[in-house]
Structure 1
Amino acid sequence: MYFNQRTCFAMVLPLLFLLTSLQGLAKPVGLPTDTLNYTTALPMDTGVLRGTLPNGFRYYIRHNAEPKDRVVMYLATKVGSILETDDELGLAHFLEHMQFNGTKHFPKNELVDYLQKAGVRFGSDLNAYTSFDETVYQLPIPSDDPELLKNGLQVMRDWAQDALLDGDEIDKERGVVLNEMLGGRGAQQRMRDQYFPMILNQSRYADRLPIGTKDIIEGFSHETLRDFHRKWYRPDLQALIVVGDIDVVEMERQIKVLFADLKQPDNAPEREEYSIPLTGKNQFMAVTDPEMPQTVMQVIIKHREADVKTVGDYRTQLAKSLFNQLAAARFSELTRQSDPPFIQGGGSIGGFLRGLDAFTLYMAAKPGEIKRGFDAVVTEFERIKRHGFTATELDRAKRNFITSVESAYAERDKRKSESYVASYLNHFLQDENVLSNEDRYRLGKQLIGTITLDEVNALGREYYVDRNRDILIMAPEKDKETLPDEQTVEGWLAAIGQSDIAPYDDNVQDIPLLEEQPSAGTVTERRERPELGVTELTLSNGVKVALKPTDFKNDEINITAFSPGGTSLYSDDEFLSATYAATVVGGSGLGPYDATQLTKYLSGKKVSVRPYIGERSEGFSASSGKKDLQTAFELIHGYFTVPRLDLAVFQGYMQRVKASLANRLDDPNAVFADTINAVLYNNNIRRTSMTVEQVDQIDPQRAFDIFKERFADASDFTVTIVGSFTEDEIMPLVLQYLASLPAAGREEAAPDLGIYPPEKGLQQTVYRGKEEKSSVRLYYFGDYDYSEDENLQLDALESILNIKLIERLREAESGVYGVSASASYAKYPRHRYSFSIAYGTSPDKVEPLMASALDEVDKIKQQGPEQVDIDKFISEQKRQLEVQLRENGFWLGHLSNSYQNEEDPAYILAYLDKLSQVTTESVKAIANKYLVDDRLFRFILMPEAAAETP
C-alpha cells in the first residue's frame, strides 16, 4: 500500500516509448495494410471483453494463459487526493489502507489472513496505490481453485463499496499511515514542499499530495472518512480488470451478478476534472537542504498533453520515442569523455501530470561545476535544435525500434497477464484505446518507416522553447551562497544561444568484431539429465556447459557463466583495481570498437553481454534473441580474447564516481550503512563504501591486467544456457566460440578471507538526520550447518517471522509502516548464516518496538510457530514454485547456483515434497539454533536532536 505521485519532480531520466511486433509472421488483422489514414481512430483491442453495468460499473476481461492457472484482478476507482477537501487531506490514501482492515465478508484482518493461506503475499502480491486522480487495488491469485477464484471476486466487490471502516481499526491505522509519512520525510521531501507550488503552477495538485498532512491524519473524525467513502466509492467511477487463465464468459456472468447491486449514493457530487494551467510565464527556484548530496538542475518546459486518439497521434508518439532515443545516445557519448561535464545529464519529451506533457532537461553537477554541466546539457539540445540529428543516427534508432517491436510481438502468446493491465487501466482512466498485439505490430512496422528526419528534428524546435519554462536547482545547503540566481542562469542561456555550435559528427565504422573467426573445438564428455531437461557437456578446452532448451519464451536465450577466483585472489592494495576491472573493460568497448562505436555496431540487435568480477568468482551474463545469438557468442569470445582499455573512458568514469561521492556522507542513511559495516567488519576495505580518496587507488592498467588474468583461462568456467533454442541450433556456436577459448588448465579456488562479524553481538546508535525518525537493524550472525534441509527450515523461519512482525508491529501496535525479516546463508567460503529484522519508526518507539520484535522471536523459540503460519509458508512456496518452474530466469539462476555450490540441481524436483518437513518443532529448533541472544547485533539510527536530549 503506497501513494504514487506519477510525475517527474526529482531527477528525470529519458523515457522510451516501447511498443510490440514481429516481421515475417502471419498477417495481423485490424486496419487495412495497404494504406493508412492518419485521421482514423486507433482500433481497440478486440481480445478484451468490455462491458458496463446499468449502474455505471465497467469491466475488462481477457483470457491469457501466462502464467498458467493464475489471474490478476485490479479494481480501479477514479478517486484520488485531488478530490479531497481541506478537512480530508490524505483520506483517499487512508481509505486505501482501511480496505485491508475489514470489509463486509472479511472483517478486521481476515482478508490478509485468508489470502496468505492461499499463497498470496501481502505487499508483494496483494497491494494498492493512491495517486492524485485514482486509487487502484491489485490481487493476483491462483485461478485453478474455483472457491478461491470466487472469493477473489468477492474481495473486489467488497473493495468497491463494502469497507467496514470500524472506528477502532481506523484509530489503529493512523499510526501506520503516520509512519509511512515519516518514512518519506527527508531532503527530497523538504525540497519538494518548496518547489511543488512553482512547477505545478499554484494549481490544486500542489496542495493535494496523496500522503496528506499529519494534523488531518491524527485528527479526522471517523464519520469524515466514512462520508468520503460514501461520496466517492461508487460504480460510475469504478472498473474491474481481470486478466488471466480464466473462462471469460463465466467471469463476465459472475461479475454481472456480483457487482450489479453497487449503489449510487444519494446526491452524489460531480467528479470534477482538474488540470494544471499553463501560464505562459517562465519561473525559477533554487532550493537547498543539508542532507542533499548532489546539485541537480532541471529545466521543465511544459506543453499541453498530446492526445493519442488517432493513427496520426500514434505516429507522433513514435517520433517522440525516436527523438528520446537519439538524445539519450548523444548524452551517453558525452559521459564517456575523459573529463565529462557532469555526473549525469540528458533530457526527453514525456508526460508530466494531469493534462500536461513536458520537455525536461536534467543534470547532476560535479562539485563546483554547475555552470559547466548546465552549459553542456543546454548546448547539446541547442545543437539538436539548430542542426538536428543525422540520417545515420535515425537509421540506428529505427533499427532498435524494429528489433524491440519484433521481439515483443514474437512473445505475444507468452505475454504475462500483468503486462495487459496498465493499458486497460489507461483506457478507463484516460479514455485512450488499447491496441491489440497485432495492431501494435502492424502500425509500428508501417509507421516507423514513414517518419522522416525532418519530422524528428522538428520536435526539438517544437518542444525546446522559451515559455512555460521552469528552472529548478536542488543543492546541498553548504553550496547555497554559490548557487546562481535567475538573472545569472538567463545570462548563461543567452550566451549559449549566441554561440557557434558545430553539427554532430556521427562517426560510424563497420568492421568484423573478431578479426579472425575461431576454430571449433569438440565435446569430450556428455551427460543427459532428462529429469531436468538439461544436457551437461565438457568441451575440449575444459569449459563445462549446461544446456536447457525451453518453450517458456519464443525468442529469449539467457546465458551465465562463472569461474572460481574473483577479487579474493588479490591483495587489499589491489582490491579496488580488481573490483573495478570489469567496469573498466566493459566501458571501453571491445576489439576494434570503442564504447561508442560498439553501441552503434550493436544497434538493431537484441543482444547483451556483461562481464563481471565478484569477490569469489568472475564470469559473464548474456541475453539474446535467436537472430543475434552468433553476435552474443562473438561478444563473449571477444571479452576473453580482445578486451580493450580506454583510458579516456576510465578517467571520465572515475571523475563521475568522485563527484557522486563528494557529499555522500551528508545522507544520514549512508552514514548509518557505513557504521554498520565498519562495526561488523572492522573497517575492512572489502566491506566499506569507497571514499573520494580511494578512487585514486584504482590503477587502470592494473585493472585491465587483472581482467585479462581472470579471463585468460576458460578451462574452469561453467556456462549455463537456458531458453528458446534447440541443441542443433546452438551447438555449432558453443563449439566455435566457447570450445575455442584459451585454456591453461590452471586450478584455482577462492580463498577464505576471514572477514566475519564478531562472535558476540553488541549495540551501536548513530545520531544523524534532521527528521524525527529512526531506523532499526537487528542482525544475527554465525556458523551454519549448511544443507538443503537446513536452508528450508531457515526460509520457513524467515517467512513466518515476517508474518508475526507485521501482525504485531504494524497491525497490533501501529508502530511501523513496513517491517521485514530476512535470512541468508552461504556454503562457501565457510558455512555461514545471517538473519536480520529491519523497520523504521519514530524515535520514541524504537525501544518498545524492538522489545516487541524480540518478543516475537522468543515466542517462536519457546513455543514454535502456529500451524496456520506454517501452512501459509507452504502454500506460498508451492504457488511461487508453480510459476517459477516456467521461467527461464529461474532455471538460469537455479542451475548456475547449484553448479557453483557443487550441488545437484535436481533437488528442486523434490522441494515440494520436502515442505512437509516444516513443522512447529522444526522451526522452533532452527530458531533456537540460530537466533541466539549472544549473537544479536542492534543498530539504531536516531535523529541528531536525540543526541542532545539528556
Structure 2
Amino acid sequence: MPLIRLLLLCAALSAAVTVRAAQTQHIEGKLDNGLVYHIFNVPAAGQRLALRLQIGAGTADENAGEEGIAHITEHLVFQTSPAYPKGLSAHLNEKGWQMGRHYNALTGYRNTRYMLIPPQGVRQLDDALAVYRQILSAPQFSPADWTRERQVVLGEWRQQQTVSNRLNQQHHALLYSGSRTARYAPIGSKTAIESASADTASRFHRKWYASNNAVLVVVGKLDPQKTAAQIRANLGSLNTVQLPVRKAAEYEPKLSQAPHTGYLQDPDNSESKVALIFRFGNTASQAPDASGDYPRLLDNFAAHIIYKRLQQSGAAVSLKLGDIGNQTGSLGFYADSEAGQHQDSLAKLKQLVGQIRQQPAGVEEIAAYRKVLHRHLQSEPLPDDMLKIIELADETVLAGKPAPSAERRTQERSRLYQVSAEAVNRRIAEWLDAPDQLTLIQAPQSLLAAEQPARAPHTTTKKSTPTRPIPEKPPATAATSAASASFAVHKGQGALLSEGFDPENKVTYLNFGNGDKAVLLQKAVAGPYIYFKAIADTGYLQSGAGAWQAQLAADIINRSAPAGFSETSFRQWQQQEGIRLNYQLDNNRQSTDARAPQNRLETLLQLYRSRQTAPTADNWQAALETAAVRQPVFLQSLPGRLEQELEILRYGQTEARAYNSDEIRALNQNDLLQQWRQLAATPVTYYLVSNLPPEKLKPLLTQYLADIPRRQTAGRTLPLLEGATLRRVNINDTDGTDVNAWSWQPFYDWTPDTSEQIPLLVNLANARLKDELRSRHQSAYGARFTALPQPVYNRVESNLYFSTAPEKAAEAWQTAQEVLSRLPENISKAEADNLQRLFIEQEARRQQDPEIWLERLAASHRRYGDARYLSRLPELHRTVIQTRLRQTAKLLWSNQNARVMLVDPKL
C-alpha cells in the first residue's frame, strides 16, 4: 500500500467548544506557568483514561558532548528522587502499573513523549498528574542510578543493531541531510552512552523540562472543567525556565540545487531497492493557523492525483509524502529491484515520474475528489472513539497542528472550491521540478562494490546516476491494459456432496467431491465485503517436495501475473476489482487470505483457481538470480546464522536449504511449476465470512472449487526436541548476549476459554519480566515473551528473548525462568480483575472486526470440527477470573522442555 498520510484539513481551535450531548468535546487551555493542555471528553471511553505529556526537546537539541542525552534523560526521570526514594518506576510497579502497558516513554528528534494509561482509569487522574509533576520537576539525577540504568540503555542500543535499523538510519541521514536531525539516532552511539554522566542529563533536564515547554493531553470520559482544575492543582505550581534559542536553519535539511545520489549498504543486507525523492520548501503548508488551510488542501489534492496515477499505472511503487523540517517537505517514490538490476529499476521509476508529469489533473477529477473531501468535512470532527482520539491527538495537537472542529471544517469546506485543476497541477510540478532530487540505491555490498568500487557508504554525488534510456511509450491506463485482460468463466465439473447448518451460529458446512470443504459464517459486520481464507494442512516439508525449492516456487508463482495478464495489467485489474489476496507457506501449512466486494466473489474465485490449476512463473530467471545473490549473504549474516542455530536448538538439525548460489541457478521454470503443483495438490478447507445467505455463495463455490484436482499428500514436520538444555554460541556482532529461550508442552484439554486467556496472561508475564529483569536487576533490556497456543497440534509453544551483558546472561536467564515458573501461583485478585477489564475492552473491538471472526471460525473448525468457539464468546469474560487464570498460566512455560541459547559476542 502506498504510504500517504492525508494532510489534516484544520486550523486553530477556540478555547472551548460547545457540543451536543454524547459527543466528543475538546477544550484547550494554558496555565499561568505556560503549560498547554488539551482535554478530550470522549463519552464512549467509559472508565478508561489515557494521557500524553510531550516535552518540546529531543535528540536534535543535543549539543556537543550531549549525544544520546535526551534519551538518557527519559530513562532517568523514572529513577530515585526525594519524592520517590525507591524510584518513580518502582513506585508505579508497586501500585500495579505495568511498564509498557500502563506507562511508557519515547524520545524523538524534536520531542520526548511520556504516555500513561492508568490501570484504574479515571479514578487515577490525580495519580497520573503526580507522575507528570515528578517528570517536570528539576532533579539532580543520581550517578548511582545512572550506573545501573546505563546497562539498560546499552541493552537497548544492542537491540537496535539490526540490519534494518542500520539501513533505516542511513536513509534518515540522507533524507534529513544538513540538519541536526541527520546526525545520529536518538539512542546515540555506544561510546556516547558509556561516557555519559548523570550531571549532563541533569543539565539537559533543567534546560528543557519546564511547564512552558510542555503540552499535556488527557483523553477519557471527563468533566472538562473539573479536569482543568485538577491539572491546575497538580501542575500549576511548576516553575518556568528561560528556554534556549534555537537556530531555525540548523533544524532544516540543506537543499541541493542539483540531483544527488546516496547508497544504502550493510554487510548483512541482501535486498535491492531504489527510491527517487524530491525535497522542497513547504513553509506555507506547515503554518499552524488558518493561513495554512489552503496550502494544505492543495497538497492533499496533489497527493491524491499522484496516488491515483500510481494506481492507474499498476506500478509496484510506494509513495511517501511528509514534512522533514519546519519549512521543508519531501515526496518519495520507492520500489523493489531485482538483484543487479537497480539501474534498470531506477530508469523505470524515473519514467513513471515522467508519465505522471504528462498526465495533468482534469477538472472532473478535481471535482470528484472535492466531493469526497466535502463529505469527509461534513462528518463529526471528533469521533466518539477513545483510540481514534488518542491517534488524532498524536497527529494534531502534539504535532503542532490544530485539532479538528466544526467551525474550522465549515471554513475548510468553503476553501475546497478555491482549489482548481490548474493550481493542483502547479503544485505537482513544483514538487517534481524541485532541484533537490535524491536518488537512493540499496543493494548487497558486493553488487554496489562492483559498480562503485571507490565509493564510501551512503555518500552523495552532484550528478544523477547514469541510466539506460528507455523508449518513450504512451502512459499505461486502466482502460487500455487492465480491461483487456480477464478470466474465462469456468463451467465447473465438480459436485457438492453434502452440507450441514448450525442455526445458533449461522454457520454452513459444505463438502465437495474433490475432498475440499467450505465453512461459511453469515455475519453482518462483514458489510459489503467477503472475507476468504483457504488452509491446506501440508507445507514445504510435505513428502515429495523439496523444502527450499518449494519455498522459492511458491514465492515466484504467487508474485506472477495469471495467464493473459501482464504484471502491470494484473495490478491494475486487482485495483479495479478491489481484490486483495495473499498466500503464505509454512513448514506444515499453506494459507491464502483474501478480501473482495460481494459482487466480485466470482472474480476472486477465478483468481484463486487460476493460481491453483494454471500457475505462471513470470520473470523466473531474474527471481532466481535475486535469490542466488541473496542466499550467501543471508547465510553469513547474523540473522541467517541465528536462524540456523535456533533450528538446531529446537529440532536438533537445520532445515533443508540451498547453501550455495549454483544450486539455485540450476533450477528451471519446469522445476518451479512442478514444486507448486505438488503444494497445490493438498486438499483445502475454505472459510468465508460475509453477510450474504449461504444460498448465494454455494453455487459459485461449487462451480469454481469442487473440481480443483486434489490428492492426499503426507505432511512432514520436524519434531520438537524434548528435555532442557542450555548452549552458548559466539556469533553476536555486538558486545552483549542475546538470550533466546524456547519451551513447549503438550496440552489436550483445549477450550475457547484457554485460547483467549493465554494472550492476556502473556501481557502479565511480560510486565513481570520487565519489572524483574529491568527495573529490579537492571541487567536486561528488550524482554519479549510470547506463548502460541496450537490446539491443532495439542501443544503450547513459548519463546522468551532479551539482551544483557555476557557476564550476567546465565544469572538473568535463571531469574527469568523463576518469574515464569512462579507466575501461576501469584496472580492476584486485582491483576485478574484488571485482565478481565482488558479482555472486555479488547473484545468489544474484536466483535466488530470481520477478519477476527474469520480467524476464530477457522480456529474452531480446525480444532473441534464445528463452531463452538463462536458459541462461547458471549460468556468468555466470565472465565477470566483468578482461579482459571492461575490454572491456564501453567501452560505458559515448561521447565522440562526449556531450550535456551545464549548468543554471545564473537570471539
TM-score over 0.5 (shorter chain):
yes
**Number of the residue aligned with 1:776:** 739
Q: Describe the shift of the 1:512–1:919 C-alpha distance in structure 2 as closer, same or farther (beyond 3 A).
A: closer
Q: CA deviation at 1:833?
A: 2.9
Q: CA deviation at 1:920?
A: 9.9
Secondary structure of the structure 1 residue equivalent to 2:284: coil
**Number of the residue aligned with 2:687:** 719
Larger CA deviation: 681-690 vs 614-623: 681-690
- In the alignment, the residues of structure 2 paired with residue 364 and residue 537 of structure 1 have an alpha-carbon distance, to the nearest angstrom, of 42
**Number of the residue aligned with 1:317:** 299
Q: Describe the shift of the 1:753–1:441 C-alpha distance in structure 2 as closer, same or farther (beyond 3 A).
A: farther
- In the alignment, the residues of structure 1 paired with residue 660 and residue 409 of structure 2 have an alpha-carbon distance, to the nearest angstrom, of 47
1:822 aligns with 2:811: no
Q: CA deviation at 1:396?
A: 9.4
* Residues 327-353 of structure 1: CA deviation (Å, up to 9, x unaligned): 7558863x6xxxxxxxxx776554334
**Number of the residue aligned with 1:27:** none
- In the alignment, the residues of structure 2 paired with residue 537 and residue 417 of structure 1 have an alpha-carbon distance, to the nearest angstrom, of 36
1:885 aligns with 2:861: no
Secondary structure of the structure 2 residue equivalent to 1:768: strand
1:173 aligns with 2:149: yes
- In the alignment, the residues of structure 1 paired with residue 468 and residue 427 of structure 2 have an alpha-carbon distance, to the nearest angstrom, of 18
1:380 aligns with 2:349: yes
The amino acid that maps onto 1:608 is: R
Contact 2:740 2:801 (8 Å CA) reproduced: yes
1:226-305 aligned at under 5 Å gives the runs 226-265=202-241, 267-270=242-245, 273=248, 274-276=250-252, 278=254, 280=256, 289-294=266-271, 301-305=278-282
1:839 aligns with 2:802: yes
- In the alignment, the residues of structure 2 paired with residue 731 and residue 924 of structure 1 have an alpha-carbon distance, to the nearest angstrom, of 40
1:136 to 109, 113, 122: 113
1:327-342 aligned at under 5 Å gives the runs 328-329=310-311, 333=315
- In the alignment, the residues of structure 2 paired with residue 405 and residue 511 of structure 1 have an alpha-carbon distance, to the nearest angstrom, of 34
Secondary structure of the structure 2 residue equivalent to 1:51: strand
1:508 aligns with 2:484: no
Q: CA deviation at 1:720?
A: 4.2
Contact 1:319 1:456 (8 Å CA) reproduced: no
Q: Describe the shift of the 1:306–1:423 C-alpha distance in structure 2 as closer, same or farther (beyond 3 A).
A: farther
The amino acid that maps onto 2:783 is: V
- In the alignment, the residues of structure 2 paired with residue 845 and residue 418 of structure 1 have an alpha-carbon distance, to the nearest angstrom, of 40
Larger CA deviation: 805-814 vs 736-745: 736-745
Q: CA deviation at 1:777?
A: 0.9
1:89 to 67, 75, 90: 67
Contact 1:821 1:838 (8 Å CA) reproduced: yes
Q: CA deviation at 1:617?
A: 5.1
Aligned length: 872
1:150-165 aligned at under 5 Å gives the runs 150-161=126-137, 165=141
Secondary structure of the structure 1 residue equivalent to 2:60: helix
Q: CA deviation at 1:412?
A: 7.9
1:18 aligns with 2:27: no
Secondary structure of the structure 1 residue equivalent to 2:780: coil
Contact 1:244 1:417 (8 Å CA) reproduced: yes
* Residues 356-391 of structure 1: CA deviation (Å, up to 9, x unaligned): 223446566655x2xx42343145325633773447
Contact 1:75 1:240 (8 Å CA) reproduced: yes
Q: CA deviation at 1:629?
A: 2.5
2:861 to 884, 899, 923: 899
The amino acid that maps onto 1:181 is: W
**Number of the residue aligned with 2:881:** 916
Q: Describe the shift of the 1:678–1:633 C-alpha distance in structure 2 as closer, same or farther (beyond 3 A).
A: farther
1:184 aligns with 2:164: no
Q: CA deviation at 1:940?
A: 2.6
- In the alignment, the residues of structure 1 paired with residue 475 and residue 755 of structure 2 have an alpha-carbon distance, to the nearest angstrom, of 57
- In the alignment, the residues of structure 2 paired with residue 314 and residue 690 of structure 1 have an alpha-carbon distance, to the nearest angstrom, of 52
Q: What is the TM-score with the length of structure 2 in the denominator?
A: 0.80
- In the alignment, the residues of structure 1 paired with residue 233 and residue 239 of structure 2 have an alpha-carbon distance, to the nearest angstrom, of 14
Q: What is the TM-score with the length of structure 1 in the denominator?
A: 0.77
**Number of the residue aligned with 1:599:** 571
Q: Describe the shift of the 1:71–1:756 C-alpha distance in structure 2 as closer, same or farther (beyond 3 A).
A: same
- In the alignment, the residues of structure 2 paired with residue 93 and residue 260 of structure 1 have an alpha-carbon distance, to the nearest angstrom, of 26
1:652-663 aligned at under 5 Å gives the runs 652-663=622-633
2:445 to 476, 483, 486: 476
1:730-745 aligned at under 5 Å gives the runs 733-738=696-701, 740-743=703-706
1:875 aligns with 2:838: no
Secondary structure of the structure 2 residue equivalent to 1:50: strand
Contact 2:143 2:197 (8 Å CA) reproduced: no
Contact 1:299 1:360 (8 Å CA) reproduced: yes
Q: CA deviation at 1:767?
A: 2.9
1:12-91 aligned at under 5 Å gives the runs 15-18=3-6, 48-64=26-42, 69-91=47-69
Contact 1:773 1:943 (8 Å CA) reproduced: yes
Secondary structure of the structure 1 residue equivalent to 2:880: helix
- In the alignment, the residues of structure 2 paired with residue 921 and residue 540 of structure 1 have an alpha-carbon distance, to the nearest angstrom, of 41
Q: CA deviation at 1:78?
A: 0.6
Q: CA deviation at 1:315?
A: 3.2
1:214-225 aligned at under 5 Å gives the runs 214-225=190-201
Q: CA deviation at 1:135?
A: 0.7
- In the alignment, the residues of structure 1 paired with residue 883 and residue 774 of structure 2 have an alpha-carbon distance, to the nearest angstrom, of 26
Q: CA deviation at 1:17?
A: 3.0
1:535 to 477, 498, 506: 506
Q: Describe the shift of the 1:244–1:399 C-alpha distance in structure 2 as closer, same or farther (beyond 3 A).
A: farther
- In the alignment, the residues of structure 2 paired with residue 941 and residue 302 of structure 1 have an alpha-carbon distance, to the nearest angstrom, of 42
The amino acid that maps onto 1:183 is: Q
What percent of counterpart residues are identical?
16
Computed over aligned residues only, the root mean square deviation of the Cα atoms, in angstroms, reads 5.0
Contact 1:366 1:659 (8 Å CA) reproduced: no
Q: CA deviation at 1:610?
A: 3.6
* Residues 550-606 of structure 1: CA deviation (Å, up to 9, x unaligned): 4xx9x6756243445343794243555655676556444568655533432344665
- In the alignment, the residues of structure 2 paired with residue 558 and residue 249 of structure 1 have an alpha-carbon distance, to the nearest angstrom, of 46
Q: Describe the shift of the 1:771–1:798 C-alpha distance in structure 2 as closer, same or farther (beyond 3 A).
A: same
Secondary structure of the structure 2 residue equivalent to 1:717: strand
**Number of the residue aligned with 2:22:** none
* Residues 473-530 of structure 1: CA deviation (Å, up to 9, x unaligned): 775279546426689997984865987644434333437966559899999643332x
Contact 1:609 1:632 (8 Å CA) reproduced: no
- In the alignment, the residues of structure 2 paired with residue 442 and residue 526 of structure 1 have an alpha-carbon distance, to the nearest angstrom, of 55
1:866 to 815, 826, 832: 826
* Residues 224-263 of structure 1: CA deviation (Å, up to 9, x unaligned): 4333323322122111122344444443343343332232
Contact 1:768 1:941 (8 Å CA) reproduced: yes
Q: CA deviation at 1:57?
A: 1.3
Q: CA deviation at 1:138?
A: 1.7
- In the alignment, the residues of structure 1 paired with residue 615 and residue 364 of structure 2 have an alpha-carbon distance, to the nearest angstrom, of 29
